[in-house]
């Protein structure tokens, strides 16, 4: 998959009425991973995620294609 530099990208409109939220916006979010092989579940907030895992940035091209069609009474 090709990747791009920041100078090659165009501005992206976000879904927050044009204002990108600050980090405080996600302070209450949690990621819960259940049904681990150990039988346990783990719940991580953004601080836990940033402390446990390194940040990796990758710029790729996103192409959204909507092409639903109906075939034999169902969606294909």
pLDDT tens column, 2-20 = 888 888 887 776 666 766 6
Strand partners, 70: 75
Confidence of residue 40 (pLDDT cuts 50, 70, 90): very high
Q: How far apart are CA 51 and CA 34, in angstroms?
A: 20
Q: Exposed/middle/buried for 49, CB within 10 Å: 0-12, 13-18, 19+? A: middle
Dihedral of the CA atoms 6, 10, 15, 19 (nearest 10)? 70
> What pLDDT shows up at residue 5?
87
pLDDT(75) > 60: no
What number is the average pLDDT over the span 19-48? 84
Q: Check pLDDT > 60 for residue 74.
A: no
Beta strands in the chain (DSSP E): 30-33, 42-45, 70-71, 74-75
Give kind and range of the element (H or E) at residue 49: helix 46-52
Model pTM score: 0.44
């Amino acid at each position: 998959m090709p990747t791009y530099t920041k100078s090659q990208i165009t501005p992206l409109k976000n879904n927050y009425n044009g204002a990108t939220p600050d980090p405080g916006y996600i302070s209450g979010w949690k990621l819960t991973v259940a049904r681990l092989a150990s039988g346990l579940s783990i719940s991580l907030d953004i601080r836990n995620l940033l402390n446990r895992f390194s940040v990796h940035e990758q710029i790729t091209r996103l192409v959204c294609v909507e092409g639903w069609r109906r075939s034999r009474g169902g969606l294909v």
